[in-house]
Amino acid sequence: MQRKEWKFDYTASKLAEAAKTKHLHHQERFEWWKEKRDQVMAEIRKDGLEIDEKIALEYVSPKRRDWEQGAQVTVRNDLKRDLNECLEKLGYHTGLMNDYHGWHQVLSANSEARLSLDHDDWLFFFGQPQ
């Protein structure tokens, strides 16, 4: 039998414990990224905006009507990138928290069941978080 075909038997209660541990890990990571997002948002509010009023506004001619277009306001690119990373990580950890919470509920409700795990299943419940 090749190792990709190996199976490992576990009780549902043992898997429920593992799911709870993973859920808590992702909840901690979620809180960390939430705080990081709040820090980035505070920095954007403080000094992350850039305003470009165009030099053409100093001299208005009938042919140039840039003043009608107004100024361009942007968020600094580094802060936009940081905010996007925070939002991506929040979504990632939210999804995994929901998955592990669901598995914890199902496995706890069937704690006496014995289940055969393959390599990927084992990593899902017991593998090191990334």
The number of domains in the chain is 1
Residue 61 domain flag: no
Residue 62 domain flag: no
Residue 64 domain flag: no
Q: What is the mean pLDDT of residues 9-15?
A: 96
The SS3 call for residue 114 is strand
Residue 55 domain flag: no
Centre a 10 Å sphere on the Cβ of residue 22 and count the other Cβ atoms it contains. 22
Q: Does 4 have pLDDT greater than 90?
A: no
Output the average pLDDT for the chain.
87
Residue 3 domain flag: no
- pLDDT 10s digits, 35-51: 999 999 999 888 877 77
pTM above 0.85, yes or no: no
DSSP 27-71: HHHHHHHHHHHHHHHHHHHHH-EEEE--GGGGS--TT--HHHH--
Residue 27 belongs to what domain range? 9-49+76-126
